[in-house]
Chains A and B, each alone.
Chain A
Amino acid sequence: MTDSTPTATPERPAELPAQSPPVDPAATAATAKSPGHHGAAPAGRLSFWRGDSGEGARRNLGLIGVLVVLVVIGIATRPDLYGNSSWVWDNILTILKLASVVGVVTVGMTFVIIGGGIDLSVGAIVALAGVWATTLATQSYGTGGMIFTALAVGLGVGLVNGLLVSYGKLVPFIATLAMMVAARGLAAEISDKQTQVSSNSVINGIASTSPLGIPLLVYILAAVVVAGWVLLNRTTFGRRTVAVGGNPEAARLAGINVRRHTVLLYALSGLCCGIAAIMLTAQANSAQAAMANLYELDAIAAAIIGGTLLSGGRGTIVGSLLGVIIFSTITNLFAINGLSTEAQNMVKGGIIVAAVLIQQFQFRSFTQFLGRNRLTTT
């Protein structure tokens, strides 16, 4: 017998039944168990999707196409800047730096969403971890103490999220919404509502160091992305994540400890937030309870644009990374043209809607889409 009683309902109530494709439990179980399956298959794709082999790669090509279009718009609107090659190189690094913090958060978010959950508390966790690491007392423990605190707080809050969802049986949306509010509250309390200035030159130096001409923050992002990619595509943990998100009941029958796995997914997301907190603190030379505002939305949006299915079971790390880079490129494009952030947000909103629409039509042909809808409503 496993942890969960045999009569247990699936861990994740179907929030979006229309979007989640019907899954053959046996197929999922087989995917989850067969060790030979993962080799050829790109990130988290299950074998029962006929005709979509290489779909992840195609989507990523599409995202790169969007990036190219954005760059062309940049060249057309500011030829004076794009004519200067040293500026162009600097701008590429600036865009990557801008993407680095949200990128790290998004990797964690991608795992949670593939696993069938959602984490609305990531921005608040970044703020709490950053603020806690920069309080006067913690700063006095030095660089190691600050880094340890940020990671421990991120991991700890992620664990609490996971336990609430898994063992407390709270809907992820509610559990992490509650954590979003509570963590910001605690961050304001700990920081005494003041901006906590970091006087640690090692931490602050993380943002201004550029080994081999590339900012250290970009290396950190790259490391997290590679680690995330390997974890998702080359380990049992990754295959289990896809199985748990695709069909938790089938995953449970296949012998996966779904509850424990869910806890680990939220803990992973929290840990990513801890890393992001150090990066953001380094960038801003300080931390504040209101920092990392709305990062949860940026991370969710980037993951969705990158092809992660909001109802779980499918997604890629590379897609998420491209999603983040597209957003930071848009921000950059609007900045160099002196356009308002309001217009920028409208464009971002449009891109999110467009990406999800494309996703719906890419998954299944239109008739299939209609057919499934009818199935789920009867």
Chain B
Amino acid sequence: MTQHSRDLSRRRLLFGGAALGAGALLTACTSNEAAPTAAQTKVAEAASGGNSAPGKQVTIGFSAPAADHGWIAAITNNAKAQAGAYSDVKFTSVEAGADAAAQRAALSTLVAQKPDVIVLLPHDGKELNAFGLEAMKAGIPVVNLDRAFPDARAYRLQIKGDNYGMGVAAATFIIEQLKAKGVSNPIIGEIPGIDSLELTQERSKGFADTLAASGFKVANRRPAEFTADSGQQAATGLFQALPKIDAIWNHDDDQGIGVLAAVNQANRKEFFMVGGAGSKKAMEDIQADNTVLKATVTYSPSMASSAISLARLIGQGKGMSDLVELQVPKEIVLASETITKENASNYLKLGF
């Protein structure tokens, strides 16, 4: 018995040791340092004075969902980098957890630290509206990033991308190209992201409205999940449904990696594609001009850097120096710009 159990425990030890060792080995040979996003921050031109000059110390509390998507990762990184660029900003960040309830809990720990301004990217603006109201009532200005609060009293400033405008920009580019080619009855495909999200619906509406104004419509629409593998599968389905395609709008450049892979695998080159969001990879592809991807419409995570800059100004009671007003405006909607081969080099630094 003793002999046996000793054998057994030794075997277990060896087994466990081997498993641990293999894990350690794998960890050791893996690292993944991504390039810093310094290019997506901005601290004013050397000519000092103005708003960039160090002023009153401001503590900015920050919260964004701990998402597994490149765009959200860029949001957090940009905010951190921009805050680091100011000597008068103290940056406290809490991860928002998995859902709105978790983010509310995380935010309450942030409020307890009494920051001067809170910048947050809510899981869902509707679900966190009450938090905005509460914080504003407690005298902490709230800067909402990207996902709007329905109640105007819940925020001091809202800065967001233009989802409807993305659809408009993508459709405008597609219409221009098709008209130039003289295509009168085009077959247009669409690969949106997660279909249940309001932002996806807005993008699709902008796209459909603009196409309709020119008498065009979407022939087939296969939603993906903002991931490359889901993009590949959605595109494969689209190709089976439409033996001939003139143009495709894919809402998201991360899933676009998979869409382009599907294009190669199906050997379909008869159409051109427009992307969305403006990832570095997409811009490089557009610049190289060796894929079907001919343009992408921006939805830049650089908005997080701008949100931090503006939160600082709000904390210091300053306005934006180019505007006449003495205070930061209440609402800023970024324009969705169209990146093509011609202007890609200007935008490359904003890629994530």
A: residues with CB less than 8 A from B are: 1, 3, 81, 84, 87, 90-91, 94, 97-98, 132, 135-138, 141, 149, 152-153, 156, 159-160, 163, 167, 184, 187-188, 190-197, 204, 207-208, 280, 283-293, 331-332, 334-338, 340-342
Shortest Cβ distance from B267 into A: residue: A208
Bound Cα distance from A156 to B254, whole angstroms = 29
Say which residue of A94, A285, A293 sits within 8 Å of B236 (CB atoms): A94
Q: Contact: A193 with B73, CB < 8 Å?
A: yes
Residues in B neighbouring A192, C-beta threshold 8 A: 32, 34, 73
Residues in B neighbouring A141, C-beta threshold 8 A: 29
Residues in B neighbouring A84, C-beta threshold 8 A: 243
| Given contact pairs A159-B19, A283-B229, A286-B257, A193 touches B240 in the complex (Cβ within 8 A) | no
Residues in A neighbouring B219, C-beta threshold 8 A: 338
Q: How far is the CB of A85 from chain B (nearest CB, A)?
A: 13
Residues in B neighbouring A167, C-beta threshold 8 A: 12
| Given contact pairs A195-B254, A336-B241, A208 touches B228 in the complex (Cβ within 8 A) | no
| Given contact pairs A152-B22, A207-B265, A284 touches B232 in the complex (Cβ within 8 A) | yes
Residues in B neighbouring A292, C-beta threshold 8 A: 229
Q: Contact: A285 with B258, CB < 8 Å?
A: yes
Shortest Cβ distance from B67 into A: residue: A193
Q: Contact: B70 with A335, CB < 8 Å?
A: no
Q: Contact: A137 with B23, CB < 8 Å?
A: no
- Can you list 14 residue pairs at the A/B interface with Cβ under 8 Å? A87-B243, A94-B240, A156-B19, A156-B26, A163-B16, A193-B68, A204-B261, A207-B261, A283-B232, A284-B228, A288-B68, A288-B227, A291-B228, A341-B222
Q: Contact: B70 with A194, CB < 8 Å?
A: yes
Say which residue of B31, B230, B233, B240 sits within 8 Å of A135 (CB atoms): B31
Q: How far is the CB of B16 from chain A (nearest CB, A)?
A: 8
Q: Contact: A341 with B261, CB < 8 Å?
A: no
Bound Cα distance from A81 to B233, whole angstroms = 19
Q: How far is the CB of B65 from chain A (nearest CB, A)?
A: 11
- The residues in B between 218 and 241 inclusive whose CB is less than 8 angstroms from any CB of A are 219-223, 225-233, 236-238, 240-241
Q: How far is the CB of A327 from chain B (nearest CB, A)?
A: 12
User: Nearest 3 A-B pairs (CB), nearest first?
Assistant: A335-B237, A193-B73, A289-B68
Say which residue of A91, A195, A293 sits within 8 Å of B240 (CB atoms): A91
Residues in A neighbouring B8, C-beta threshold 8 A: 3
Residues in B neighbouring A87, C-beta threshold 8 A: 243
Q: How far is the CB of B121 from chain A (nearest CB, A)?
A: 14
| Given contact pairs A285-B260, A288-B68, A336-B241, A1 touches B4 in the complex (Cβ within 8 A) | yes
Bound Cα distance from A225 to B139, whole angstroms = 64
Residues in A neighbouring B205, C-beta threshold 8 A: none
Bound Cα distance from A365 to B288, whole angstroms = 66
Q: Contact: A138 with B236, CB < 8 Å?
A: no
Q: How far is the CB of A299 from chain B (nearest CB, A)?
A: 15
Q: Contact: A335 with B222, CB < 8 Å?
A: yes
Bound Cα distance from A3 to B11, whole angstroms = 11
Residues in A neighbouring B22, C-beta threshold 8 A: 152, 156
Bound Cα distance from A109 to B319, whole angstroms = 60
Q: Per-position contact with A for B1-30: 1 when CB-CB < 8 Å, else 0? A: 100100010001000100100110010011
| Given contact pairs A291-B227, A293-B227, A195 touches B70 in the complex (Cβ within 8 A) | yes
Does B195 sit within 8 A of A, measured CB to CB? yes
Residues in B neighbouring A335, C-beta threshold 8 A: 220, 222, 237-238, 240-241
Does B181 sit within 8 A of A, measured CB to CB? no
Q: Contact: A290 with B4, CB < 8 Å?
A: no
Does B343 sit within 8 A of A, measured CB to CB? no
Q: How far is the CB of B79 from chain A (nearest CB, A)?
A: 14
Residues in A neighbouring B265, C-beta threshold 8 A: 207-208, 283
Residues in A neighbouring B231, C-beta threshold 8 A: 284
Bound Cα distance from A167 to B11, whole angstroms = 13
Bound Cα distance from A334 to B220, whole angstroms = 11
Residues in A neighbouring B31, C-beta threshold 8 A: 135-137
The SS class assigned to the A binding surface is helix
- The residues in B between 335 and 350 inclusive whose CB is less than 8 angstroms from any CB of A are none
- The residues in B between 247 and 270 inclusive whose CB is less than 8 angstroms from any CB of A are 254, 257-258, 260-262, 264-265
B: residues with CB less than 8 A from A are: 1, 4, 8, 12, 16, 19, 22-23, 26, 29-34, 66-70, 72-73, 195, 219-223, 225-233, 236-238, 240-241, 243, 254, 257-258, 260-262, 264-265, 281
Q: How far is the CB of A353 from chain B (nearest CB, A)?
A: 23
Say which residue of A136, A149, A287 sits within 8 Å of B26 (CB atoms): A149
Bound Cα distance from A194 to B75, whole angstroms = 12
Q: Contact: B261 with A284, CB < 8 Å?
A: yes
| Given contact pairs A138-B29, A290-B226, A338-B241, A156 touches B261 in the complex (Cβ within 8 A) | no
Bound Cα distance from A192 to B254, whole angstroms = 14
Shortest Cβ distance from B230 into A: residue: A293
| Given contact pairs A132-B26, A149-B26, A193-B73, A98 touches B233 in the complex (Cβ within 8 A) | yes
Q: Contact: A193 with B241, CB < 8 Å?
A: no
Say which residue of A163, A194, A288 sits within 8 Å of B34 (CB atoms): A194
Bound Cα distance from A159 to B22, whole angstroms = 12
Residues in B neighbouring A187, C-beta threshold 8 A: 68
Q: How far is the CB of B211 from chain A (nearest CB, A)?
A: 16
Residues in A neighbouring B260, C-beta threshold 8 A: 285
Q: Contact: A137 with B32, CB < 8 Å?
A: yes
Residues in A neighbouring B68, C-beta threshold 8 A: 184, 187-188, 191, 193, 288-290
Beyond A98-B236, A286-B258, 13 additional contacts (C-beta under 8 Å) are: A138-B29, A152-B26, A156-B26, A167-B12, A191-B32, A193-B72, A208-B265, A284-B232, A288-B69, A290-B69, A293-B230, A338-B241, A342-B195
Q: How far is the CB of A121 from chain B (nearest CB, A)?
A: 16
Residues in A neighbouring B243, C-beta threshold 8 A: 81, 84, 87
Q: Contact: A293 with B232, CB < 8 Å?
A: no
Q: Contact: A288 with B229, CB < 8 Å?
A: yes
| Given contact pairs A149-B26, A152-B26, A190-B30, A291 touches B229 in the complex (Cβ within 8 A) | yes
Shortest Cβ distance from B264 into A: residue: A208
Bound Cα distance from A190 to B30, whole angstroms = 8
Q: Contact: B69 with A193, CB < 8 Å?
A: yes
| Given contact pairs A284-B257, A290-B69, A336-B240, A136 touches B32 in the complex (Cβ within 8 A) | yes
Residues in B neighbouring A149, C-beta threshold 8 A: 26, 30
Residues in B neighbouring A90, C-beta threshold 8 A: 240
Residues in B neighbouring A290, C-beta threshold 8 A: 68-69, 225-227
Residues in A neighbouring B195, C-beta threshold 8 A: 340-342
Bound Cα distance from A338 to B8, whole angstroms = 59
Shortest Cβ distance from A204 into B: residue: B261
Bound Cα distance from A197 to B220, whole angstroms = 27
